[in-house]
Amino acid sequence: MTSSASDTSSAANVASPDPMNESTAARAGSKPPTNRETSITRSLAVLLAFQCVGELIAHFTRVPIPGPVIGMVLFLCVLSAAPALAQEVEYVSRGLLNHLSLLFVPAGVGVMVLADDMKGQLLAISIAIIVSTILSIAVAALVAGALMARLERKQTRLNAQKVGQA
């Protein structure tokens, strides 16, 4: 009786394929990645490379600026020099921006965990939030005003050229 039970279990082992072999066979017969897949991988690699470079610069220079911010500034410089790169990373960037709110969840959880520690600093935190909000609005207004004035000058110049040509 025991031998038949062991024969049955060994037969079941032979009959059932190994999951590792199935996945290996599936990978061997799978198609190469599409252009979209390689483009996504390349785009993520570019974005992460700039973040890592920023982190390295922040670490070795010990500047009080977060590494990802340094990487983002470097990326902006490269994008202004090579605009074709913007098209390369646009798809992934839009996907990340569409789900940006999810990236704030860990920070929110951290605030909730440290709520007791932050109670003593509530006044300083409130002042910092209010001042930075006012400064952000003021800078945005100044930039918008400068851009509108630049656009108006450009339109005036184009109108003058049209009148001169007519």
- 3 versus 75: the higher-pLDDT residue is 75
- 103 versus 26: the higher-pLDDT residue is 103
Percent of the chain whose predicted confidence (pLDDT) is above 90: 56
- 10 versus 51: the higher-pLDDT residue is 51
Kindly indicate the confidence band of residue 11, based on its pLDDT and cuts at 50, 70 and 90: very low
In the prediction, which pLDDT does 131 show? Answer: 97
Kindly indicate the confidence band of residue 146, based on its pLDDT and cuts at 50, 70 and 90: very high
In the prediction, which pLDDT does 24 show? Answer: 43
In the prediction, which pLDDT does 32 show? Answer: 54
Distance of CA 97 to the CA centre of its chain: 7
In the prediction, which pLDDT does 12 show? Answer: 43
Average pLDDT (35-49) is 88
What does pLDDT average to over the chain? 83
**Predicted confidence (pLDDT) per residue in 103-145, tens digit:** 889 888 988 898 888 888 999 999 999 999 999 999 999 999 9
pTM of the predicted model as reported, rounded to 2 decimal places: 0.53
